[in-house]
Amino acid sequence: MNGPANHGLTSPVSQGNKGEEMPPATERPRSGSQAEQEPVAESVHEVPASEATNDETTRDATRRGTVAVPSTAITRLRISQDNPPTREMGVRSAARRFSSAAFLTSERYPNLRRGPYGSLSNSHVNTFERILSSERVLTNEDDVAPYNIDWIKTVCGQSKVVLRPKTTEELSAVMKVCSESRLAVCPQGGNTGLVGGSVPVFDEVVISTSLMNRINSVDGISGTVSCQAGVVLDKLEAALEPEGLMAPYDLGARGSCQIGGNISTCAGGLRLLRYGSMQANTLGIEAVLADGSVLNMMNCLKKDNTGYHLRQLFIGSEGTLGIVTQAVLQCPIRPRSVNLALLSLKKFGDVLSTFALAKRTLSETLSSVEMMDSVCMTSVGNKLGLKCPLQSDSDTFFMVVETHGSREDHDMEKMSCFVQEAMDKGLVVDGITSNEPSRMTNLWQLRERITESLVKDQYVFKYDITLPLPKFYEAVEVLKQKLESFGSDVQVSGFGHVGDGNLHLNVTAPAYSDDLQNAIEPFVFEWTSSVGGSISAEHGMGFKKAKFLKYGKSPEAIRLMRSVKSSMDPLGILNPYKVLPPS
């Protein structure tokens, strides 16, 4: 009788072992050839992609809720020549690009210590293979590498195994083994996060939900969808379209991000202004707890007031309290008409005034209001070849304003009147409006591919904060002043969701620097807290922000969070080192 297979694992793995630097990650195979992206919202997880066909372009615009419209349905305002940006994203099926060489997280943060967890052995791997089959237990270093690193290549773990369950029952069995041996685990969906929440810090067992990708049902009458956690957002949209529905949120990472990860991070994205938050749109959840038990709360009801709303514990807790395996989402009706405006403005005060005007004049149809500064627009132009069709200079601000409605002619006229009024008031310098699918897709790329351009050939420090609107862009200006001594190679830029006060603050540099990071942190969190903002709007806390939680929560709140964590995960094996600061 053959003995147990030897999977090349040291036994045991020493605590705090730094190991060797991981090689650059390559694209992970995905169903439908979907590439990994940065969530936009930033939710933006943009990645390069090949040229799209006209059908792909139309499909992408249809995903936004667009119906067929005449190809001439575009209005140019006060611009003599129409030169739209080129279409490059296609269906987002290209390899990821990284900003700089990766260091192991344990090397970059030498004061961090591995927790008191068990070490993976050949016996554990053999057990996992009996539960899942050997094909769904990855131990080859090259196969595991992409799961160890985040897509912008700022954190890198040392996991030796990736588990890929297909069902809740399989995941439950896996967690029972991990609990019995106190093996720390790192749940991972599309790995599109920006705060290090979805990759291991040390040698945690990676549990990928990518094969849990079944859509259970779509109810067009109640407007709900039931699906497994590994369903990619783009795939969900495709399933909802025949029923006249759409997902209640939209992210730049739609081609890679998964529903379970969206729920676990409480993703926001481009549509929150119109359709609300993940908390409001998640009706039911199924989750596997730390000990392997299954908590079934797959409720399709829009009213259920029977005590504690336990599902809310799993929305935004980033896999630290349980692993989401299935969910029920409520989905809005797909709009019959979609209109888009790209605007240029002289100063940020005009951005706020234009937003106020949009709320008054576009009112119930307003679905998205986005802002980006000239550094961002220059970046997508220089790095990705996407040219802005508007007149601009180095101090220009840009806005994307979108509406969802039901009467095509009426909605287009309403949008045009809004832009014209903004120009007449001296708020908008230049503008373009459209309801033609491929053109709207092109214009959206100027906003959605910003992060992709910022990380290209340089290192980026990213901050996802919520601010009172009068302070929204002041964060960029204050940080620019703070970092002046680092010279012109260090650039500060901002873009984000004006509609909900969410700024994506970016600092780019030729390479990572401890001095630069120490100049930014904790300053950026202190300043945000001092003006009444939040240090995390939609990306979560992850690993990178965990130690700064005190700038967002009171000591009493943190104690209660620790108590909840201890009650639900007494061994601390679920996504350790994330969300909560080191104790």
Closest CA to 27 of 91, 96, 86: 96
pLDDT tens digits, one per residue of 57-70: 333 443 444 333 33
The pLDDT value given to residue 102: 56
Phi (first) and psi of residue 206, to 5 degrees:
-85, 125
The pLDDT value given to residue 583: 80
The pLDDT value given to residue 84: 30
Closest CA to 272 of 192, 355, 370, 415: 370
Q: What is the dihedral of CA 479, 480, 483, 484, to 10 degrees?
A: -150
What is the spatial distance between Cα 322 and Cα 175, in angstroms, rounded to a whole number?
10
Give CATH for domain 215-330: 3.30.465.10
Within 8 A by CB and 6+ apart from 464, the residues are 42, 194, 195, 502, 503, 504, 505, 536, 537, 538, 539
CB 549, CB 579: distance < 8 Å: yes
Q: Looking at domain 337-451, which CATH architecture does it have? A: 2-Layer Sandwich (3.30)
DSSP state of 538: S
The pLDDT value given to residue 164: 99
Per-residue confidence band for 151, with pLDDT thresholds at 50, 70 and 90: confident
Instruction: Name the residue with higher pLDDT: 84 or 423.
Output: 423
Per-residue confidence band for 404, with pLDDT thresholds at 50, 70 and 90: very high
Per-residue confidence band for 9, with pLDDT thresholds at 50, 70 and 90: low
- The string of DSSP codes covering 476-497 is HHHHHHHTGGG-TTSEEEEEEE
The pLDDT value given to residue 36: 33
The pLDDT value given to residue 414: 96
**For residue 160, pLDDT beyond 60:** yes
DSSP state of 458: S
Q: Return the H-helix or E-strand segment holding 509.
A: strand 502-509
CB 347, CB 424: distance < 8 Å: no
Closest CA to 474 of 345, 358, 352: 352
Compute the average pLDDT of residues 226-246.
98
Mean pLDDT of all residues in the chain? 85
Per-residue confidence band for 103, with pLDDT thresholds at 50, 70 and 90: confident
Per-residue confidence band for 26, with pLDDT thresholds at 50, 70 and 90: very low
What is the spatial distance between Cα 178 and Cα 322, in angstroms, rounded to a whole number?
13
What is the spatial distance between Cα 47 and Cα 452, in angstroms, rounded to a whole number?
6
For the record, the structure tokens of 468 come out as 């009172």
Compute the average pLDDT of residues 538-551.
96
Per-residue confidence band for 20, with pLDDT thresholds at 50, 70 and 90: very low
The pLDDT value given to residue 394: 76
What is the spatial distance between Cα 252 and Cα 262, in angstroms, rounded to a whole number?
12
For the record, the structure tokens of 427 come out as 């708020």
Encode burial over 488-498: b for 16+ CB neighbours within 10 A, e otherwise.
Answer: eebbbbbbbbb
Identify the burial level of 152 via C-beta atoms within 10 angstroms of its C-beta, where 0-12 means exposed, 13-18 middle and 19 or more buried: buried
Count of alpha carbons within 13 angstroms of residue 164, beta-carbon side: 17
Compute the average pLDDT of residues 530-555.
96
Q: Looking at domain 458-552, which CATH architecture does it have? A: 2-Layer Sandwich (3.30)
The pLDDT value given to residue 352: 98
**For residue 44, pLDDT beyond 90:** no
pTM of the model: 0.82
3-state secondary structure 357-392: HHHHHHHHHEEEEEEEEHHHHHHHHHHHCCCCCCCC
Compute the average pLDDT of residues 209-233.
97
Identify the burial level of 19 via C-beta atoms within 10 angstroms of its C-beta, where 0-12 means exposed, 13-18 middle and 19 or more buried: middle
The pLDDT value given to residue 46: 30
For the record, the structure tokens of 302 come out as 């829009």
For the record, the structure tokens of 49 come out as 């992609």
pLDDT tens digits, one per residue of 189-203: 999 999 999 999 999
Beta strands 282-288 and 323-330, pairing class: antiparallel
The pLDDT value given to residue 7: 56
For the record, the structure tokens of 161 come out as 């195994």
User: What are the sequence ranges of the domains in the chain?
Assistant: 215-330, 337-451, 458-552
pLDDT tens digits, one per residue of 251-309: 989 999 999 999 999 999 999 999 999 999 999 999 999 999 999 999 888 899 999 99
The pLDDT value given to residue 167: 99
The pLDDT value given to residue 299: 86
The pLDDT value given to residue 13: 32
Sheet strands (E) in 25-122: 74-77
pLDDT tens digits, one per residue of 108-148: 999 999 999 999 999 999 999 999 999 999 999 999 999 99
Per-residue confidence band for 474, with pLDDT thresholds at 50, 70 and 90: very high
The pLDDT value given to residue 37: 35
Instruction: Name the residue with higher pLDDT: 365 or 57.
Output: 365
Using CA of residue 546, residue 547, residue 553, residue 558, what is the dihedral sign?
A: positive
Name the residue with tokens 């147990």.
Answer: 4
User: Given this chain, do its domains 215-330 and 458-552 carry the same CATH topology?
Assistant: no
3-state secondary structure 200-253: CCCCCEEEECCCCCCEEEEECCCCEEEEECCCEHHHHHHHHHHHCECCCCCCCC
The pLDDT value given to residue 96: 35
